[in-house]
Chain A
Amino acid sequence: MIQLSLQSMSDAETPFVTRLRATGDSVDPTDSVLVAEDADGATYAGRHGLISILAASAADLDGDVVLVAPGAGRVERLLRARRLDIPTNTLLVTERCDQLCLMCSQPPKKTHHDRFQLLTDAALLAEPESLIGISGGEPTLYKGQLLTMIERVLTERPDLEFHVLSNAQHFEEADVERLCASVYDRVTWGVPIYARDPGLHDHIVGKDGAFEKLQDGLAVLLGAGCRVELRTVLLSDNAPHLAELARYVATRLRFVEAWSIMQLEHVGFARRRWRELFVDHLSDFSTIGAALDHAHLHGVHAQLFNFPLCTVPAAYRHLAQPSISDWKRKFVPECGLCTERERCSGFFEWHPDGEARSAVRPL
């Protein structure tokens, strides 16, 4: 696992964003340039003074955009320059959420530390042509700041794109006009939907009336011509009703760019309730296969996230995306022989090893 938060020391009094450089070439005023490196770590100098990052190698960090938090004694690698594959760097804008999904991988917190200005600074320093993820908590709880950040960054950086994970509970008809702006052509909204049945969806997200709000939110996104990716995490609760959801997506929601059916992450709330929630697609793929077929039959691009390739029947394998970011992805020893690792999601770092090892059939 690659650490995204590192121990550090800095002279600054307030948090700031900077880009780390291993050499003095192409220095931008916002860059911090390496001045010393030894077995303990790397030290950089920039306009906010010195930063020492412990147990880190300057080669690894070269080009990374980091948030330095002097009070906490940490640096957070917001945008890693040396990411290996498609899943993006993700900016966490808040840890508050108005839903409480029963499998939440990142349980929400009550407090919110506003750091939109710092995240804006960071996004403006992103590598050319990057896709930046925005996640939470629920980012649209701070809709005004969020949209302002998106507009500012995308106006200044016509080469960037955002992917925003949002439960779409907080859009209003009045937002349609704003979301029609051309910068939003470069924003995809990843919106979770768990079931066609309002009661079941509400139960899974832990919020009464959530499904109805979701429909309104999707209507706003559709009205503005926004790009939408639907996301459905598989659970023992909703898996039996996947066909119904597929029909709903292929009719009322056929404007979406993609529908991602996602396997569960063994972390957060799901960790404690794993046996109860996990759907073993290896022993029965038929409902998932039928949902994929139904969506594709009607021209909706359905795909699989967090499904290792060898656990998916061959006919559906091309729909399984390498969806797990490199920093939290692992392969088990059995994967060593596999020729398809490059294209494979692998497993989450926190997936039980025993289950992973017994599931793998190297290709």
Chain B
Amino acid sequence: MSVVTDDLGLIDTLRQRQVSRLRSRPLRNGHGLFVGDNGRFFRAGPSVQDRLNGGGPSEEDLRFLDGEWHVLGSGSLERRSRRYAEAQRLGWSHRLDYLILVPTLRCNLSCSYCQVSRASLSSTGHDWSDATLAAVLDQIDRLETTSIKIEFQGGEPTLRLDLIKAVIDRCQRFERREFVVCTNLQYLDDEVLELFARDEVYVSTSLDGGAATHLSNRTATDSGTRRFLDNLNMIIERFGVGKVSALPTIDPRSPPEPDELIDTYAGLGFNSIFLRPINFHGFARKRHPESREQQSDWRRYYERFIGRLIERNWQDRSRVLEETYLGVCLRRIFQPGSERHVDLRSPNPVGVDYVVIDHDGTVYPTDEARMLARSGIIDLAIGSVETGWDTPERATLDRHSTNEFDPACRQCAYQPFCGRDVIDDIARYGTIDMPRTETEFCRKHMYLFDLIFELVYSDDPAVRHSVCRWLRLPGTPVELGPTLP
């Protein structure tokens, strides 16, 4: 594989012609990918790179670069729209409108990789106290927003339906409301079903593959597995598949066959599968120490999985299956700002637009941070629901929550598409002061963006079909990414 070597030489040459800063990344087949600060990109072959580095761009090159918005123009429209496009790529967190609430830590299952260090069903002191509930409701009353999203996590939150209902009742003043109950679907009585029947209530659950996989990871008994699957089917049948989202957690040492997982999800009517390997927190860390970083085995598996999605989408055009996170990254490249995904953005401040309120009223910046604290790794609490979270702890985390000024990120072609996650760094390395390229966050996203650009520039009609559907395009254009000939 040949690489774009003389990056600086290229930039120098182009600057004289008022070409904007371009960062490059080698693609396969000797091509290089060039990305501007506004996120516009193009591909160029080795001969073009030689031309740009050597004698400078030709008239045709400059015309192409201008059409693709890499030549700096003059005038106020140019200045303003450039700033607009760059700002569009920045994460936008405004006011708090998304709460993750943990009304209880108690659970009726004991999953092998439980990320939250559960408490046993009969234990005490693991539910919101009356004072905590009152403080949560008081926080809700103070929100200055017209829309609200609340996720109830646990433990198993349906063990405390009374708390869920108290919160939902208090939210009726908001114009738009969305409540997600994250449940293991073990026990559904009439009261739970009545809650799920409300239009504003959604259900989120874990589904790790076929029955055997789910059994070994989670439910532990055949009857538990059957109960889960029966309940899942019943909910989908009764309320429609739009009511439910399901997430798998994959053990990278023995992942299910892609088709087993896809069949399970597609069979239930789900089109989006969030392929996540076991995460490195809580009890999971003790039981699966090798999960600290994604291994090449996992990446091979991931790629095989994406390949199967593409083949299946091509065979059956009536539905579009997608891997959730690949879709998020892909759309961030082309359609900045089109969706809100708090896991991938920069700046990525904590405690601004969403927070986690734990069973004891402690406030964490993310669910991961809560798990880190529970498993005794580091206490990343930023405050409490009673006293608020405008704290020095939060300010410290926020000071570094951007990739904008990181020396490695500044060199990186993918910076306009990428994000920053200080909590993840701390979780893995105990510090955020790591060369970016040595972090799992960086390696994972470099891998994903490399894969995506390979798909974007693929000639295979099946690949293009899937990529266009994942980008929500009406048609399938011949060219998704431009190439400087």
What is A's interface to B at a CB cutoff of 8 Å? 173, 215-216, 218-220, 222-223, 244, 247, 251-255, 289-290, 292-294, 296-299, 315-316, 318-319
Are B75 and A216 closer than 8 Å at their CB atoms? yes
What is B's interface to A at a CB cutoff of 8 Å? 38, 40, 67-69, 75-81, 84-85, 88, 334-338, 468, 471-477, 480
Are B475 and A222 closer than 8 Å at their CB atoms? no
Contacts of B471 in A (CB 8 A): 296-297
Contact of B475 among A218, A298, A316, A318 (CB under 8 A): A316
Are B475 and A215 closer than 8 Å at their CB atoms? no
Quick one: given A293-B473, A293-B477, A297-B471, are A216 and B77 in contact (CB under 8 Å)? yes
Q: 30 A-B pairs, CB-CB below 8 angstroms?
A: A216-B77, A219-B75, A219-B77, A219-B80, A222-B81, A223-B76, A223-B80, A244-B67, A247-B67, A252-B77, A254-B81, A254-B84, A254-B88, A289-B475, A290-B475, A290-B477, A293-B468, A293-B474, A293-B475, A296-B472, A297-B335, A297-B477, A298-B334, A298-B335, A299-B334, A299-B335, A299-B337, A299-B338, A316-B474, A319-B474
Are B77 and A292 closer than 8 Å at their CB atoms? no
- Measured CA separation A219–B80 after assembly (Å): 7
- Smallest CB-CB separation from B80: which chain A residue? A222
- Smallest CB-CB separation from B480: which chain A residue? A297
Given contacts A222-B77, A289-B474, could you give 19 more A-B pairs where the C-beta distance is less than 8 Å? A216-B76, A216-B77, A219-B77, A219-B79, A219-B81, A220-B76, A247-B67, A247-B68, A251-B68, A251-B85, A252-B78, A290-B475, A293-B476, A296-B471, A297-B334, A297-B335, A297-B480, A299-B338, A316-B474
Quick one: given A251-B69, A252-B69, A255-B81, are A297 and B473 in contact (CB under 8 Å)? yes
Q: Which of the listed residues B77, B78, B338, B476 has the most CB atoms from chain A within 10 Å of its own CB? A: B77
- Measured CA separation A294–B38 after assembly (Å): 17
Are B40 and A251 closer than 8 Å at their CB atoms? yes
Contacts of B67 in A (CB 8 A): 244, 247
Are A299 and B474 closer than 8 Å at their CB atoms? no
- Measured CA separation A220–B40 after assembly (Å): 24
Contact of A215 among B75, B84, B334 (CB under 8 A): B75
Q: Which of the listed residues A255, A289, A294, A296 has the most CB atoms from chain B within 10 Å of its own CB? A: A296
- Smallest CB-CB separation from B76: which chain A residue? A219
Q: Which of the listed residues B68, B336, B475, B480 has the most CB atoms from chain A within 10 Å of its own CB? A: B475
Contacts of A294 in B (CB 8 A): 477
Quick one: given A215-B77, A252-B81, A255-B81, are A296 and B337 in contact (CB under 8 Å)? no
- Smallest CB-CB separation from A290: which chain B residue? B477
**A43 nearest CB across to chain B (Å):** 45
- Measured CA separation A289–B474 after assembly (Å): 8
**A94 nearest CB across to chain B (Å):** 26
- Measured CA separation A254–B334 after assembly (Å): 12
- Smallest CB-CB separation from A314: which chain B residue? B474
- Smallest CB-CB separation from B84: which chain A residue? A255
- Measured CA separation A292–B471 after assembly (Å): 13
- Measured CA separation A219–B468 after assembly (Å): 32
Contacts of A252 in B (CB 8 A): 69, 77-78, 81
Contact of B84 among A222, A244, A290, A293 (CB under 8 A): A222
Contacts of B335 in A (CB 8 A): 297-299
- Smallest CB-CB separation from A315: which chain B residue? B474
A-B pairs, top 3 by smallest CB distance, nearest first, are A299-B335, A219-B77, A251-B69
- Measured CA separation A26–B339 after assembly (Å): 46
Are A253 and B81 closer than 8 Å at their CB atoms? yes
Contacts of A296 in B (CB 8 A): 471-474
Contacts of A297 in B (CB 8 A): 334-335, 471, 473, 477, 480
Contacts of A254 in B (CB 8 A): 81, 84-85, 88
Q: Which of the listed residues A173, A218, A292, A297 has the most CB atoms from chain B within 10 Å of its own CB? A: A297
- Measured CA separation A349–B335 after assembly (Å): 38
**B424 nearest CB across to chain A (Å):** 27
Contacts of B88 in A (CB 8 A): 254
Contacts of B476 in A (CB 8 A): 293
- Measured CA separation A296–B476 after assembly (Å): 11
- Measured CA separation A254–B86 after assembly (Å): 11
- Measured CA separation A358–B201 after assembly (Å): 49
Are A315 and B337 closer than 8 Å at their CB atoms? no
- Measured CA separation A136–B25 after assembly (Å): 51
- Measured CA separation A292–B468 after assembly (Å): 13
Contacts of A292 in B (CB 8 A): 474-475
- Measured CA separation A223–B75 after assembly (Å): 12
- Smallest CB-CB separation from A289: which chain B residue? B475
Contacts of A215 in B (CB 8 A): 75, 77
- Measured CA separation A253–B77 after assembly (Å): 9
**A173 nearest CB across to chain B (Å):** 7
Contacts of B337 in A (CB 8 A): 299
- Smallest CB-CB separation from A225: which chain B residue? B84
- Smallest CB-CB separation from B331: which chain A residue? A299
Contacts of A247 in B (CB 8 A): 67-68
- Measured CA separation A222–B84 after assembly (Å): 9
**B382 nearest CB across to chain A (Å):** 32
**B242 nearest CB across to chain A (Å):** 19
Contacts of A255 in B (CB 8 A): 81, 84
Q: Which of the listed residues A216, A219, A247, A319 has the most CB atoms from chain B within 10 Å of its own CB? A: A219
- Measured CA separation A316–B476 after assembly (Å): 11
